[in-house]
């Protein structure tokens, strides 16, 4: 049960959520208190993607959450290009819906740029705009393996570090891993093309960070600004939360950290099994 934090006279008390209450809320939002009848695509949408550095974890994640889930439920979506594997949150591979691959990936670019900056010293004399242009043309001509991309770029910059060239291409372009990679029971090496080529259209010109915050809270709230920054690999999100404050409710944890949430989101009692 939420306790009440002492507040100045006349001010409304701020509910304090115990660790157990926060844990139950997270389990509820993550569909882990009980299996749900939600479809695989709706679950991937609700969870704002599934961590997918390896190919099988997204299947295990859905099996733990959904009633009657079968691996084919996700594989069919991947074959139909309704979900894709792409570098996004924290500059790591996630399984996202096609819509999220187009809209979330641009929002994550600052975190991905930080990864690129770690390798910039190993790319002396490399024109990144030219690298982006060459890489896009090469992978849109046909899906290419990381090795093929490195070898193509080495013909342009033979003295550059091969690994850094490949990482630069991945950071500068929104590259998806095309099927059969990621399908259940079918082996397939990594082959990459741009998300625009794979899905047949481009994403939004101006991605909506406020919408991303609201969706994050729906899947992970109540949460602090720092919580979302850690989840996304981004910084300086406080001003976005402040713009949304009139639409949100607030709590505090036992250490006094301010937590934000959607007003109508479920927050089960801390003794919920």
Judge if 71 and 189 occupy the same domain. Answer: yes
Bridge partners, residue 178, by sequence = none
In a domain, 130, yes or no: yes
Judge if 80 and 172 occupy the same domain. Answer: yes
Put the strands of the sheet holding 258-261 in their side by side order.
Answer: 3-5, 14-17, 249-253, 258-261
In a domain, 84, yes or no: yes
Judge if 201 and 82 occupy the same domain. Answer: yes
Looking at 189, 207, 225, the residue that finishes a domain is 207
Residue 46, classed as helix, strand or coil, is: helix
Question: Mean pLDDT throughout 54-61?
Answer: 97
pLDDT at 269 over 90: yes
For the chain, percent of residues with pLDDT exceeding 70: 95
Question: For 146-166, how does the pLDDT look when each residue is reduced to its tens digit (9 = 90+)?
Answer: 999 999 999 999 999 999 999
Judge if 263 and 163 occupy the same domain. Answer: no
Judge if 65 and 131 occupy the same domain. Answer: yes
For the chain, percent of residues with pLDDT exceeding 90: 89
Judge if 156 and 190 occupy the same domain. Answer: yes
Judge if 103 and 21 occupy the same domain. Answer: no
In a domain, 187, yes or no: yes
Euclidean distance between CA atoms 236 and 252, whole angstroms: 20
In a domain, 1, yes or no: yes
Q: Which of 110-119, 176-185, 201-210, 229-238 has the lowest mean pLDDT?
A: 201-210
Judge if 85 and 196 occupy the same domain. Answer: yes
CA distances from 100 to 66, 78, 107, 195, 222 (A): 21, 14, 10, 11, 22
Question: For 78-89, how does the pLDDT look when each residue is reduced to its tens digit (9 = 90+)?
Answer: 999 999 999 999
pLDDT at 5 over 50: no
In a domain, 43, yes or no: no
In a domain, 51, yes or no: no
Domain region containing 219 = 1-7+16-38+211-267
> Prior bond to 158 cis, omega within 30?
no
pTM: 0.90
Euclidean distance between CA atoms 242 and 261, whole angstroms: 12
Q: Which pLDDT does position 4 carry in this prediction?
A: 46
Q: Which of 47-51, 205-209, 245-249 has the lowest mean pLDDT?
A: 205-209
Q: Where are the beta strands (DSSP E) in 1-157?
A: 3-5, 14-17, 50-51, 83-87, 93-97
Question: For 223-251, how does the pLDDT look when each residue is reduced to its tens digit (9 = 90+)?
Answer: 999 999 999 999 999 999 999 999 999 99
Looking at 160, 176, 207, the residue that finishes a domain is 207
Question: For 91-120, how does the pLDDT look when each residue is reduced to its tens digit (9 = 90+)?
Answer: 899 999 999 999 999 999 999 999 999 999
Is residue 101 within 8 A of residue 176, CB to CB? The reply is: yes
Is residue 177 within 8 A of residue 188, CB to CB? The reply is: no
Would you state the structure tokens that stand for residue 155, as one six-digit string? 């013909």
Give, for 71, the enclosing helix (H) or strand (E): helix 71-79
Bridge partners, residue 105, by sequence = none
Mutual angle of helices 209-220 and 98-107, in 10-degree steps: 110
Judge if 26 and 76 occupy the same domain. Answer: no
- What total number of domains does the chain contain? 2
Judge if 227 and 192 occupy the same domain. Answer: no
Is residue 152 within 8 A of residue 192, CB to CB? The reply is: no
Bridge partners, residue 16, by sequence = 3, 252
Judge if 181 and 263 occupy the same domain. Answer: no
């Amino acid at each position: 049960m939420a306790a009440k934090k002492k507040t100045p006279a006349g001010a409304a008390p701020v509910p304090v959520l115990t660790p157990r209450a926060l844990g139950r809320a997270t389990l509820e939002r993550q569909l882990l208190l009980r299996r749900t009848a939600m479809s695989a695509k709706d679950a991937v949408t609700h969870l704002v993607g599934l961590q997918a550095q390896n190919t099988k974890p997204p299947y295990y994640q859905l099996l733990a959450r959904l009633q009657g889930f079968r691996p084919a439920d996700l594989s069919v979506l991947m074959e139909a290009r309704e979900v894709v594997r792409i570098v996004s949150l924290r500059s790591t591979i996630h399984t996202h819906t096609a819509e999220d691959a187009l809209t979330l990936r641009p929002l994550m670019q600052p975190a991905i740029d930080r990864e690129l900056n770690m390798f910039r010293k190993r790319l002396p004399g490399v024109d990144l705009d030219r690298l982006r242009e060459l890489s896009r043309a090469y992978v849109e001509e046909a899906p290419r393996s990381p090795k093929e991309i490195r070898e193509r770029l080495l013909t342009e910059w033979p003295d550059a570090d091969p690994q850094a060239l490949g990482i630069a291409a991945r950071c500068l372009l929104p590259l998806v891993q095309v099927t059969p990679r990621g399908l259940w029971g079918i082996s397939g090496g990594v082959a990459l093309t741009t998300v625009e080529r794979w899905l047949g259209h481009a994403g939004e010109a101006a991605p909506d960070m406020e919408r991303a915050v609201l969706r994050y809270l729906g899947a992970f709230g109540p949460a602090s600004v720092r919580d979302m920054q850690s989840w996304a690999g981004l910084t300086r999100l406080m001003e976005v939360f402040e713009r949304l404050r009139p639409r949100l409710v607030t709590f505090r944890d036992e250490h006094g950290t301010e937590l934000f949430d959607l007003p109508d989101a479920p927050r089960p009692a801390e003794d919920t099994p």
